């Protein structure tokens, strides 16, 4: 009977004429004499031997994998963040396990359990629930944006407070005298909540009376925004009592623009709109879907992966903030 099984380390050792331990050292990157290394590499190539990285990881406590947990891939920000994380993981010779939780706590816990059993080298989580007690202490964990009271978990985020302030700075510079805030927040606290704080601080700076819609996340954002905007218009004069909108995400900015257009107002002529995130029409490209406060996704991904991989060697700060920038996207008057 013809043997069809894949070659083993023993086969490599026999082909190379070296001890099994020498093959193991070469595969695991340990120092051996150059002649032996060359023989082993030649034998591996000849036999088409495939290293079982998972099995090797169980022995070395490194599986060369990272796990990313995000709410979904349907929103561009999450999808682009996952893309950048995968790129950085690959540059560091790591494979990425991608988990989409849809914001369901039980689903996140299932994924964490799976990642823990697989002995992943680290977990990066953009989560909407408290997962802090579900991750074993032995697995490095970095949380994007969120924070939890019962465990001192390292967090990485954009400077959301500065971003909120910057949005109003820009609208004021472009002639807006009465900018409002529209946003929806998670029941779990996080750095993104500071976008609203930045708006309030900027209003205080410019002596603007703050007007805002700031509710817990719901599935009917359109109707909430529609009702809010109609409460701030003079129907007889077809005039609004605000001239600018800062929305806490690009997604909510797009909904607000749709409401304005349905009410026959023009953007940016009647109302200028700035979102937050830096969502592009096609990724990567140079065109944004709205004028926006851009989060530095590539830099955030680099920082997340670097901190995860250096978790055992370097102390990780509790909070790392990266700067944001304003980008024109067609919904403001700064052409």
In this predicted structure, the answer to whether residue 40 has a pLDDT above a threshold of 50 is yes
How far apart, in whole angstroms, are the C-alpha atoms of residue 290 and residue 309?
Answer: 35
pTM: 0.79
How far apart, in whole angstroms, are the C-alpha atoms of residue 270 and residue 266?
Answer: 5
Taking CA 164 as the corner, what is the angle to CA 159 and CA 166, rounded to the nearest 5 degrees?
Answer: 90
Radius of gyration of the chain (CA): 26
Residues 137-147 have a mean pLDDT of 82
Q: Residue 329: what pLDDT?
A: 95
Secondary structure (3-state) at 221? helix
Q: Which of 55-64, 83-92, 310-319 has the lowest mean pLDDT?
A: 55-64
Please write the tens of the pLDDT for every residue from 234-245: 888 889 999 999
Higher local confidence (pLDDT), 210 or 23: 210
Q: Residue 151: what pLDDT?
A: 58
Bridge partners (DSSP) of residue 144 are 156
Q: Which of 45-49, 102-106, 323-327, 329-333 has the lowest mean pLDDT?
A: 102-106
Q: How confident is the model at residue 324 (pLDDT cuts 50, 70, 90)?
A: very high
In this predicted structure, the answer to whether residue 101 has a pLDDT above a threshold of 50 is yes
Q: Residue 1: what pLDDT?
A: 42
Q: How confident is the model at residue 269 (pLDDT cuts 50, 70, 90)?
A: very high
Residues 304-320 have a mean pLDDT of 78
Which residue, 314, 123, 333, is CA-closest to 244?
Answer: 333
Bridge partners (DSSP) of residue 97 are 67
How far apart, in whole angstroms, are the C-alpha atoms of residue 40 and residue 217?
Answer: 58
Q: Alpha helix (H) ranges present in 124-248?
A: 160-173, 194-205, 221-230
User: Which secondary-structure segment (H or E) carries 26?
Assistant: helix 20-27
In this predicted structure, the answer to whether residue 56 has a pLDDT above a threshold of 70 is no
Q: Residue 2: what pLDDT?
A: 47
Taking CA 22 as the corner, what is the angle to CA 17 and CA 28, rounded to the nearest 5 degrees?
Answer: 135
Please write the tens of the pLDDT for every residue from 160-205: 999 999 999 999 999 999 999 999 988 778 899 999 999 999 999 9
Q: How confident is the model at residue 210 (pLDDT cuts 50, 70, 90)?
A: very high
**Please, what is the end-to-end C-alpha distance for the chain in angstroms?**
75
Both tokens of 118, joined, read 């697989």
Length of the chain: 335
How far apart, in whole angstroms, are the C-alpha atoms of residue 202 and residue 10?
Answer: 69
User: Which secondary-structure segment (H or E) carries 107?
Assistant: helix 105-117
Taking CA 121 as the corner, what is the angle to CA 120 and CA 122, rounded to the nearest 5 degrees?
Answer: 90
Instruction: Write down the mean pLDDT value for the chain.
Output: 87
Higher local confidence (pLDDT), 174 or 102: 174
Both tokens of 107, joined, read 């689903």
Strands 319-322 and 155-158: parallel
How far apart, in whole angstroms, are the C-alpha atoms of residue 182 and residue 234?
Answer: 19
Higher local confidence (pLDDT), 22 or 128: 22
Structural domains in the chain, CATH included, are 9-51 (1.10.260.40), 65-157+299-322 (3.40.50.2300), 160-296 (3.40.50.2300)
Please write the tens of the pLDDT for every residue from 271-310: 999 999 999 887 666 789 999 999 999 999 999 999 888 8
Q: What is the DSSP string of 249-298?
A: SHHHHHHHHHHHHHTT--TTTT-EEEEEE--BSSSSSS-BSSSEEE--HH
Please write the tens of the pLDDT for every residue from 26-36: 876 678 888 88
Residues 131-146 have a mean pLDDT of 78
Higher local confidence (pLDDT), 122 or 261: 261
Q: Residue 58: what pLDDT?
A: 45
Q: Which of 87-91, 130-134, 249-253, 266-270 has the lowest mean pLDDT?
A: 130-134
Name the DSSP letter for residue 192. Answer: G
Taking CA 8 as the corner, what is the angle to CA 7 and CA 11, rounded to the nearest 5 degrees?
Answer: 80
Q: Residue 51: what pLDDT?
A: 66
Secondary structure (3-state) at 67? strand
């Amino acid at each position: 009977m013809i043997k069809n099984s894949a070659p083993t380390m023993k086969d490599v050792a026999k082909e190379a004429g070296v001890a099994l331990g020498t093959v193991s050292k070469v595969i695991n990157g340990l120092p051996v004499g150059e002649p032996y290394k060359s023989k082993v590499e030649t034998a591996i190539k000849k036999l088409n031997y495939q290293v079982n990285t998972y099995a090797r990881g169980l022995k070395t406590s490194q599986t060369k994998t990272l796990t990313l947990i995000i709410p979904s891939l349907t929103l561009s920000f999450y999808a682009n963040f996952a893309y950048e994380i995968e790129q950085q993981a690959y540059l560091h010779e790591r494979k990425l396990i991608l988990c989409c939780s849809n914001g369901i706590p039980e689903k996140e816990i299932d994924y964490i359990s799976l990642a823990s059993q697989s002995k992943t080298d680290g977990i990066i989580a953009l989560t909407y629930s408290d997962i802090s007690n579900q991750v074993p202490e032995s697995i490095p964990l970095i949380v994007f944006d969120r924070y939890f009271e019962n465990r001192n978990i390292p967090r990485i985020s954009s400077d959301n407070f500065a971003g909120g302030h910057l949005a109003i700075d820009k609208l004021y510079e472009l002639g807006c005298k009465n900018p409002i805030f529209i946003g929806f927040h998670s029941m779990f606290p996080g750095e993104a909540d500071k976008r609203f704080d930045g708006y309030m601080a900027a209003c205080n700076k410019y002596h603007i009376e703050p007007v805002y819609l700031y509710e817990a996340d719901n599935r009917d954002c359109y109707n909430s925004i529609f009702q809010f905007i109609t409460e701030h218009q003079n129907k007889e004069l077809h005039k609004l009592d605000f001239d600018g909108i800062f929305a806490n995400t690009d997604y909510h900015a797009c909904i607000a623009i749709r409401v304005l257009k349905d009410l026959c107002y023009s953007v940016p002529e009647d109302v200028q709109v700035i979102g937050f995130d830096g969502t592009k029409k096609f990724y990567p490209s140079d065109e944004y879907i709205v004028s926006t406060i851009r989060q530095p996704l590539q830099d955030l991904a680099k920082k997340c992966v670097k901190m995860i991989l250096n978790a055992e060697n370097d102390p990780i700060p509790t909070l790392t903030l990266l700067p944001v920038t304003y980008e024109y996207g067609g919904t403001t008057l700064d052409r």
